[in-house]
Amino acid sequence: MNPTVIVSEGHRAVAATAAWLLLGIGGPLLAQGSSPAERPPTLEFSLGAFGVLNGLSDGYRLGIEYRWRPLQAWSLVPGAGAVLAEDGANYLYVNLHKDFALGRHWRLTPSFGAGLFHDGHGLHLGDQLEFQSGIELTRTFLDGLRIGIAGYHLSNGGLSHTNPGTEVAVLVISVPVGAPRSAVDAEATR
């Protein structure tokens, strides 16, 4: 069997699943969190590694991302971020997230985005334009602080002849910046 056919079919399945979850079609399968529009913007800090499934030893990966308040349509959360790796690789991206509540304190958050990737000394992904799909599992603490783990797949989606892709595993800390929308609305009506 041709390996490029398997990769191509795998990418289609991942893209379809991400779209299914991000557009909220899969919402009835997972309990929605209460009042997602009240969530304030957040700064996401991440620490982890590239190449976790293919044995690369590219060292650490640091990331920071700003996530805006959820949009009213489907409660999608837009974000923009930057990643730096020990070997000199970096990635600037924009993405969309969708939070799903798993009980009172846990959130499952699929995401999909795209950005510009600069190869480092050891990590070469084949193109400057790279797509990122991922999933986070976080626990919410007092004042909206969230801590959890996330996994991402970076790939150029077959845009170039070389498309090795890579998997990323990270620890995530999400810190709210600003007051929740309900508090802002309450202040505005005083």
pLDDT value, residue 101: 95
Q: What are phi and psi of 27, to 5 degrees?
A: -55, -45
Report the alpha-carbon distance of residue 90 to residue 71 in Å, rounded.
28
Confidence of residue 98 (pLDDT cuts 50, 70, 90): very high
Confidence of residue 36 (pLDDT cuts 50, 70, 90): low
Give residue limits of the domains in the chain.
3-178
Using a pLDDT cut of 70, give the percent of the chain over it. 72
The yes-or-no verdict on residue 179 having pLDDT over 70 is no
Mean pLDDT estimate for the chain = 78
Question: In terms of Cα–Cα distance, which of 155, 154, 145, 148 is closest to 170?
Answer: 148
pLDDT value, residue 56: 61
Contact assessment for residue 64 and residue 91, using Cβ atoms and an 8 Å cutoff:
no
Confidence of residue 37 (pLDDT cuts 50, 70, 90): low
CB-side neighbour CA atoms (13 Å) of 127: 17
Report the alpha-carbon distance of residue 19 to residue 112 in Å, rounded.
8
- Digit-coded pLDDT (tens) for 121-158: 777 777 889 999 999 999 999 889 999 999 999 898 88
List Cα–Cα distances, 97 to 9, 68, 73, 93, in angstroms: 23, 10, 12, 13
**Region 53-74 average pLDDT:** 84
Q: CATH number of the domain at 3-178, please? A: 2.40.160.20
Q: What residues are paired with 8 via a beta bridge?
A: none
No. of H helices and E strands in the chain? 2, 9
Confidence of residue 159 (pLDDT cuts 50, 70, 90): confident
pLDDT value, residue 25: 38
pLDDT value, residue 127: 83
Report the alpha-carbon distance of residue 16 to residue 94 in Å, rounded.
19
Using the structure block, give the residue that is written with the tokens 């070997």. 87
Can you give the pTM of this predicted structure? Answer: 0.73
